[in-house]
Amino acid sequence: MRPEKKLIVLSLSGGWDSAVAAALLRQQGWTVKAVHLRLAGEATASSRLVALAQQLGVDLLELDLQEDFSQSVIDYFIREYQQGRTPNPCVRCNAAIKFGRLAQIAQQWGIDYLATGHYVRCQPLPNGEPALWQGVDQFKDQSYFIHRLPREILPRLIFPLGHLTKTQVLALGQQLDLASLVRQPESQEICFIGQENYVEFLRSRKPQGLTGVGDIVNRQGLVLGRHRGLEGFTVGQRRGLGLTAPEPYYVLEILPESNRLVVGFRDELFSSGLVAEHINWLIDPPEQPMTALARIRYRHPGVTCQIKPWSIDQGEVIFSQPQAAVTPGQAVVFYDRDRLLGGGWIERRIS
- Residue 36 bridge partners (DSSP): 62
> How far is residue 222's CA from residue 34's CA, in Å, rounded to a whole number?
58
Closest CA to 151 of 18, 302, 312, 315: 312
Cα Dmax for the chain: 67
> Alpha carbon of 225 to those of 98, 218, 246, 249: distances in Å?
43, 10, 16, 12
- Alpha-carbon torsion, ordered 338, 339, 341, 343, to 10 deg: 40
- Residue 332 bridge partners (DSSP): 344
Closest CA to 317 of 288, 282, 289: 289
> How far is residue 328's CA from residue 310's CA, in Å, rounded to a whole number?
18
Give per-residue burial for 50-72: e unless 16+ CB within 10 Å, then b: bebbebbebebeebebbebbbeb
> How far is residue 64's CA from residue 42's CA, in Å, rounded to a whole number?
9
Catalytic residues: 93, 191
> How far is residue 218's CA from residue 247's CA, in Å, rounded to a whole number?
14
> Alpha carbon of 138 to those of 166, 176, 293: distances in Å?
10, 25, 15
> How far is residue 266's CA from residue 3's CA, in Å, rounded to a whole number?
51
Q: Of how many residues is the chain composed?
A: 351
Closest CA to 178 of 26, 42, 41, 33: 26
Closest CA to 188 of 11, 53, 15: 15
